[in-house]
Amino acid sequence: MLKIRKEQNDELSKVALKRFEDDMVIHIKKYFPKYYEIMGEPTVRKVIRYSIERAETYGLTTERDVCLYINLVFLLGSNFDTDVQFPWAAATLKDEMIKGSVIRIDKLYEIAMDYLGRVNGDNNIYLALALRKIREVPFGEFSYAVSEDVVRKVISQLKNVWPEKCQYLGNSILHQLVQHGIKSARRYNITGEKGLVLYIGLMFMLGSGFDNDPQFPWATAVLRNEVLTEQSAKVERLHTEAMAFLNKWLT
């Protein structure tokens, strides 16, 4: 079985890596057509390269293993391996008792498919409902002021939008997600109630590392935009971009 280690600098390995990348582009276009349509091939290629690098850190270097890892990246987010929402991912990838990459990725994939089946529902019915409920979140009613009640308000919104996922995660992980989100958002000068509801909501829907995920360049661009110095301007732009992205999924 061909390995695709990037540190091998001979021309044959470079050709093999490029061929694998091309094969994965075709794979994504076939099995994840909506992702391909919305992101476009250049972004899909960036995600594939990013995934290859992350997979290699866990000893996943065969084409089969990396292909499965890439599937999970598109389903869970490019940083799913460190996402507080998926503690089972890091635990499986780092479990020293699991011998062999095939067993490791197969176990991870099995857990992930069980998770997706429970939270997305048959034919993704729960996910579809969640995407539509996002439009009903009263975003305009939240304040830019710092709120002592923000944790309760955020969790209430998450449970209303996607109760099946919240039930699977449980209150402990939901609270961890919110606390992680508050800390992460602070790096972008987002501290008010309105911004935190949006920022943590995006973590919940796209993955807790959405701000550094090649799948969502629009989010990274807004959050790192040095022109948007005011919190309100940054949050409003992020909300606009997020809704535009959502509309593409619902079209």
Q: List pLDDT tens digits, range 124-154.
A: 999 999 999 999 999 999 999 998 899 999 9
Task: Compute how many other C-beta atoms are within 10 angstroms of the C-beta atom of residue 113.
Answer: 13
Q: Is the pLDDT of residue 1 over 50?
A: no
Q: What interhelical angle do 163-186 and 150-161 show, nearest 10?
A: 140
What number is the average pLDDT over the span 157-168?
98
Report pLDDT digits (tens) over 32-78.
999 999 999 999 999 999 999 999 999 998 999 999 999 999 999 99
Select from 173, 177, 168, 238 the least CA-distant residue to 207.
177
Contact yes or no for 52/66 (Cβ under 8 A): yes
- pLDDT category, 166, cuts 50, 70, 90? very high
- In which element (H, E) is residue 150 found? helix 150-161
Tokens read off for 64: 């089969």
Q: How is the chain split into domains, by residue range?
A: 11-120, 125-250
Cα–Cα distance between 143 and 146 in angstroms, integer?
A: 8
Q: Residues 6 or more apart from 3 whose CB is under 8 A from it? A: 61, 62, 63
Handedness of CA 214, 215, 220, 221 (dihedral sign): positive
Residue 25 pLDDT? 98
What number is the average pLDDT over the span 179-189?
97
- pLDDT category, 87, cuts 50, 70, 90? very high
What number is the average pLDDT over the span 217-230?
96
Q: Residues 6 or more apart from 136 whose CB is under 8 A from it? A: none
